[in-house]
Structure 1
Amino acid sequence: MNRAIGILGGMGPQATVDAMNKIIKHTPAHCDQDHIPVVTVSIPDIPDRTESILNHNDKPLEKMSEYLKILEKAHVGCIIIPCNTAHFWFDQLQQRTAIKMISIIESAVNFVQAQNISEICILATSATISTQLYQTKFTQKSISCVVPSYDLQEKIMKSIYAYKSGNIKNSKIIMSEVIKEVNKNRKIKFLLACTEIPLILEDNILNSPENFIDATDLLIQTAINWYQSSPSEHCS
């Protein structure tokens, strides 16, 4: 069996559970033993990533670095972070560990490029948008991307925080309004670049799966491909 996939989670807890569920869903297994080993650290006291970025502090980095050591001690083979905004510190985290880290940003951008998608709308936190974590990568690949207007971005954040606080119904209503507004003048594919958004839009995705690209899903598939392509380790 290969070394486990390590999940640096807790940002938020539901998104972490969703990532774990997607590993199970995408693994071709016929029994328990066929599934991929996973070590998950889901300690939700990591400071709010969006607030920290907008306030120009690195408080989440210190907490994530601390919990990274738990995964190191568990001898995982790779590490994923099911939080797009946390990837603002991705390079710094990678510098602090010798374990391979797989980027949700790279996974999503590579998929969009491989699908020859010429234009995409990014739905993400205000921090992910303002730091241009995706826009920079898409520009490098000559892929056109658009972001919601200021007013719609405010609604997206309201929806995300409503979901995190347990107000699921209101969260879904607000995000659906955003989708309708963006689609009012033209149809466009949406990149769901916040790990809560695929959960908020689960009904919309079921009805029109071709309109949405789930970055979490792509991260998980990249991690599974890593696991399946890694040489097996045997005890001697």
Structure 2
Amino acid sequence: MKHFFTILGGMGTIATESYVRLINHRVKINKDQDYLNYILVNDAEIPDRTAYIKDHTKENFFFALKDDVEKQSLLKPDFFVMPCNTAHYFYHDLAALTEVPFLNMMDIAIHTFLEKFPNEKKIGLIATEGSIYDRLYEKSIEKVGREVEFGGSEIQPMVTDLIYHNIKEKGVVNKELYHRILQKMHDEYGCNVILLGCTELSLAQEKAPDHPYNVIDPQSILADVTIELALKIRNGMEVDKAVSKYLYQD
């Protein structure tokens, strides 16, 4: 197979399925051969990311991802994508394992926010407890001169309920809960834009987009970038040149 990319997925599987569905349905096709070439590594046994980030006595999820990156690198994909925000806790360690370009979904999402909403000084952030705890999004957003709003103490339990008790445990999206979270972030905490810092939240956005609020959806953005890069490379652009636009400097 020529010119393929590797998806490091399974975190969780339903969210990965959403990402794959996006790239399959958004690419313009007239025949089977117009779809993208990719290898999906749906490693569903990767330990819980939030559990380890909050408590290092829990099983470290790095080693499972390390194994996936090293094995896939032998196949020489054009680039890696990892549609899991929380797993970006180890992004730099994983990227250092390979010479294959490794897209950073978090960086791409933040720069998209700057491009789409240049006058917004604040962005709401809803995510797993792990992503909030490790402060990666918070630090990256503050680094580009914007303020982060997490909402009040009632927000995180609602977000955790939506991510874990609905989507991860039951495989369903609670539309009303998702919309209520967005409404509270907008109405009560002044967030004109809300970043969905978990791919389960991206799934909620895919399934329940009928709301009036501005969201930055990293998984959706990554899907569009994936399509763009895969098609440029297929049409003859050098890999390094194609991906350079999205490999932001720290």
Q: TM-score, normalized by length of structure 1?
A: 0.89
- Matches of 2:164 and 2:102 in 1, distance apart? 27
User: Of 132, 135, 138, which residue of structure 2 is paired with 1:135?
Assistant: 138
Change (3 A) 1:187 1:94: closer
What is the CA-CA distance between 1:203 and the residue it aligns to? 5.2
Aligned residue for 1:59, secondary structure, equals: coil
Structure 1 partner of 2:161? 158
CA deviation map 1:25-48 (0-9, x unaligned): 332222111111010000211000
1:63 is aligned to 64
Choose the corresponding residue for 2:181, options 178, 185, 191.
178
Superposed displacement of residue 128, structure 1: 0.8
Mean alpha-carbon deviation: is it higher for 129-138 or for 12-21? 129-138
CA contact (8 A) 1:82 1:195 kept: yes
Paired position in structure 2 for 1:12 = 12
Corresponding residue for residue 33 of structure 1: 33
Distance 1:148 1:187 in 2: 9
187 and 98 in structure 1: CA distance in 2 versus 1, 3 angstrom threshold: closer
Range with bigger deviation, 142-151 or 81-90: 142-151
The residue that corresponds to 1:122 in the other structure is 125
Distance 1:104 1:187 in 2: 22
Cα distance, 1:190–1:204 mapped onto 2, change above 3 Å: farther
Aligned to 2:196: 192
Please report how far the alpha carbon of residue 88 of structure 1 lies from its aligned counterpart in structure 2 after TM superposition. Answer: 0.5
Q: Distance in 1 between matches of 2:119 and 2:65?
A: 33
Looking at structure 1, the residues matched to 32 and 100 of structure 2 have their Cα atoms a distance apart, in angstroms, of 26
CA shift, 1:204, in A, is: 4.2
TM-score normalized with structure 2 length: 0.84
Structural RMSD (CA): 2.1
- Change in Cα spacing, 1:187 to 1:138, as seen in structure 2 (3 Å) is closer
Task: Tell me whether 41-50 or 17-26 shows the greater mean CA deviation.
Answer: 17-26
- Where 1:159 maps in the other structure, the secondary structure is helix
Which of residues 201, 210, 218 is equivalent to 1:215? 218
Identity %: 23
Matched, 1:168 2:169: no
Cross-structure match for 2:240? none
Task: Confirm or deny: 8 A CA contact 2:105 2:222 kept in the other structure.
Answer: yes
- The answer to whether the 8 Å contact 1:121/1:190 transfers is yes
- 8 Å contact kept, 2:15–2:202: no
SS in 2 for 1:102: coil
* Aligned mates of 1:187, 1:149 — CA distance in 2: 12
Q: Distance in 2 between matches of 1:201 and 1:28?
A: 22
